[in-house]
Amino acid sequence: MRETLASRKLRVARVVSLRVTDSRTVRRLNRRFRGEDSATDVLSFNTDFYGLRRPDGAADLGEIVIALPVAARGARQRGATLAAELALLTVHGTLHLLGFDHEEVEEDRRMKELERIALERAGFAEAARG
């Protein structure tokens, strides 16, 4: 996460909350906020309000919520370690908080490239998706 934030050269320090939880919780959040009744691997919730700062001067960027069982299944399917999968999902969620998406082909290509760079810097090059 630190590598992802550092790569964006932000002017104000940012804080990201990370919650690793069960599939049921993520399914409930996904249904409530995205209208999809399924557990996904990672959700991101932006909480960056202009001008709102913590006492230490940092700005809250948002929260990343990872469903551990879904992440573990994804790691097995990709032949990755759970640590590598969690690193990928954390970077992926952070990029969403920074405004990146992957709905269009070019957006997806750019997001995967940013993931790869951040994961390499964090020592998880094997976690990057092709």
Q: Which tens digit of pLDDT belongs to each residue from 102-128?
A: 989 999 999 999 999 999 988 999 999
> In this predicted structure, what is the pLDDT of residue 13?
66
Q: Which residues contact 59 (CB under 8 A, 6 or more apart)?
A: 12, 13, 14, 15, 48, 52, 53
> In this predicted structure, what is the pLDDT of residue 2?
53
Residues in the chain predicted with pLDDT less than 70, given as ranges, are: 1-13, 48-55, 57, 130
pTM of the model: 0.84
Query: Whose CA is closest to 60, among 51, 73, 70, 68?
Result: 51
> In this predicted structure, what is the pLDDT of residue 8?
53
Query: Whose CA is closest to 81, among 43, 125, 38?
Result: 125
CATH topology of domain 2-125: Collagenase (Catalytic Domain) (3.40.390)
> In this predicted structure, what is the pLDDT of residue 59?
74
